[in-house]
A and B are shown apart, each in its own frame.
Chain A
């Protein structure tokens, strides 16, 4: 791993992972000064008994708490203000959030609002700095999470904030809290995790501390995708594996700028033709290949993460990068088969038209990147056609 001449990395998240992890919630909250958390969950958390597992863990430790279940997400601002009123009314001092994706954004927004004492998030959405000392936030994500719950990103009502200080202080990954995801949901979670892990490990902003999170995120996501593609024996805890991968991928992302695959996938998802995860599955290998060819990235070590140390070591050095990219691409091709085509091999497979690519490239560049739309369009074109750039030859 290369050591940059200048780097900075911070991950304020304490991770609790494995059997009975939820039982540690009361102790950990008390250790950071919380005596009365507000436990909130979305509708799926109640339906899948994830909320009950969290509440029981707190009750067993005689923890006093406020509880709001089935938080509606139709009107986020209304839910935010109602939860803030309950938190203040019950004199709570921390938030425990059980849910995924949009709901986790709501939990982060709530924490930001309460920690700053503001009435609305407007000043922060206008670009003010996120304060360093927010109130304690604990998150318990499910297996259909996208990893952003552990990251420093907050998407709320059309605004995006990013800061390491928005990351939760506590993260609990417990088999009782993963829910009951189907294979399609687990593939999506694993593809999100793989993208976060790979782009954090091999991107231009990488550093050895970030790699602590990116490396296992990539390993776990690859392991899960191989199983979901029918390459390995299915273990009982596959849902836990993808949840774990997604959370670590989110930690690796932190509050950093989104990378190429992410930006392109978000732009594709915005067209409504495919999900972000589907787009990432197609795009990742093409982005890596383009970056390797332009000399901006070296993905040799990806072969050891995806294919194992022995395969990496016995492959001649100049073949490692191409072999790693081929590994990812062939995995996606296999998922196309096992998912009955729901996971596309090309952008054409996921329903994009060629004429839409230029607009997608432009839109992706507009979102917080310094990229060239022409380069993005070239990547999209190769991914649409399913035509490698040629680093494989």
Chain B
């Protein structure tokens, strides 16, 4: 170890260098985002809680109870009971999504053929009451205010929602494989 190294060691050069770095951080702007006063905006593709979009033409949800989302869901958190509306469309009588089982993978959104179920940007899902996590059809439809424009744009010019899956019985069963 040469003289230069000895002097550097005695003068604590490496330690002072580290201290200069932390000293700089002391005075520059801090990166903290003071949640809940300030909130970060998530990106368009962010996968938050789900929502069911309504078709402006019919006023009802676009969902046709095809069971694709319930089937693909890796944690089986979606239960759908389908029925026929008076005007011959297929739609879900009940649509239950259990957020406590959901792993937010986005597969339900990806496979939906009518772009009815979408993942919104809502991530503040903590609650004191477990029932708030068991989303039924009304809550899911109400949640579409949290969906964002990119998803609406996705569905413009799409095929009409009245596409029925080729199932033997008229009514599709509940969730299942």
A and B, one complex?
no
| B residues lining the A interface (CB < 8 Å) | none
| A residues lining the B interface (CB < 8 Å) | none
